[in-house]
Amino acid sequence: MSSLAVRKAPSAAGATGASHNRPPLRGRIALVPTIGLLLGALYCLLPVAWVVIASTKSGSELFSTFTFLPGSGFTDNLHDLNAYRDGIYWQWMANSALYAVLGALLSTCVSAFSGYALATYRFRGRETLFNVLLAGVLMPPIILAIPQYLLMAKADLTDSYWSVLLPQVLSPYGVYLARIYAAAAVPSDVVEAGRMDGASEWRIFTRVALPMMVPGMVTVFLFQFVAIWNNFLLPYIMLSDDEKFPLTLGLFTLLEQGANTPALYTLVITGAFLAVIPLVALFLVIQRFWSLDLLSGAVKS
């Protein structure tokens, strides 16, 4: 019996060691969301990778068997895109930059003013107004496109830069984010202290509240910039002069012409690749700004 117990002891110890080497159940369960996120990232990045690779291929390489190997036609595609209608693509790029930068700046300012007022002041109808804004967040933009066109036509602003800029100034989602962030980031005690010191409401907002709201306003600016840069429906309804087109509408016209002229497909793909670069650059710059702002806030605290 004793020899049998001795022979069984190592096997029991080995089983205990194996159980210690086995990863815990919680760690194995945690792998599931990680794998899901990786699959989601792959699903989102695969079309981007396809555009990047396709922009390097010539027309013959593009319409033959496609592989994820770079082609040899990127410089020729850039030359053809630059030469198309005397470089109208760059006019579309400048128009998109104008719409996105100016529209996002104006929308961020309006959102900051409105969100701070809704978060700080108490007045009759405040919650009703905020609920109306929430309804605007849930409303699809396509529902508002035709009424906006009729309003711009009444004001004789259709087929102008203002017809694309003005409807983007008020963003219900931007006002919603600004109110939530102002309520969390601007303590009421600080506002009251400014009033007791004799500061005006405008001075309190610009010198006290707005610096605290900067990270949230950067987020609003980023969302609005991306939304305006990618906007297609509003310019499609408002504009008829192709020299005022943004990139989305200009590339759409090229794609339509590609049905009769297949050589234009390479221009569309190359133009789509170049149109993504400003968005990536903006995100990288703003991400760095977020990090610096958080670090500065930690130092100040």
pLDDT at 194: 87
Per the prediction, the chain carries an average pLDDT of 83
Cα gap 267→109, rounded to integer Å: 37
For range 226-235, the mean pLDDT: 92
Asked if 175 and 135 count as a contact pair (C-beta separation under 8 A), the reply is: no
- Asked whether residue 100 carries a pLDDT value surpassing 90, the answer given is yes
The b-or-e profile of 127-164 (16+ CB within 10 A means b, else e) is eeebeebeeeeeeeeeeebeebbeebeeeebbebeebb
pLDDT at 283: 86
Kindly report, residue by residue over 188-208, the tens digit of the pLDDT: 888 888 888 888 889 999 888
In the chain, the amino acid numbered 266 is T
CATH code: domain 82-300 is: 1.10.3720.10
pLDDT at 289: 66
CA separation, residue 179 to residues 99, 194, 289 (Å): 25, 20, 21
Q: How confident is the model at residue 64 (pLDDT cuts 50, 70, 90)?
A: confident
Q: Which residue has the higher pLDDT, 133 or 245?
A: 245
Q: Which residue has the higher pLDDT, 101 or 140?
A: 101
For range 64-91, the mean pLDDT: 85
- Asked whether residue 115 carries a pLDDT value surpassing 70, the answer given is yes
pLDDT at 236: 93
Tokens 């049905």 correspond to 259
Three-state helix/strand/coil letters over the chain: CHHHHHHHHHHHHHHHHHHHHCCCHHHHHHHHHHHHHHHHHHHHHHHHHHHHHHCCCCHHHHHCCCCCCCCCCHHHHHHHHHHHHHCHHHHHHHHHHHHHHHHHHHHHHHHHHHHHHHHHCCCCCHHHHHHHHHHHHHCCHHHHHHHHHHHHHHCCCCCCHHHHHHHHCCCHHHHHHHHHHHHHHCCHHHHHHHHHCCCCHHHHHHHHHHHHHHHHHHHHHHHHHHHHHCCCHHHHHHCCCHHHCCHHHHHHHHHHHCCCCCCHHHHHHHHHHHHHHHHHHHHHHHHHHHHHHHHHHHHHC
Q: Give residue limits of the domains in the chain.
A: 82-300
Smallest Cα–Cα separation from 104: which of 229, 17, 208, 11?
A: 229
- Asked whether residue 280 carries a pLDDT value surpassing 70, the answer given is yes
Cα gap 112→106, rounded to integer Å: 10
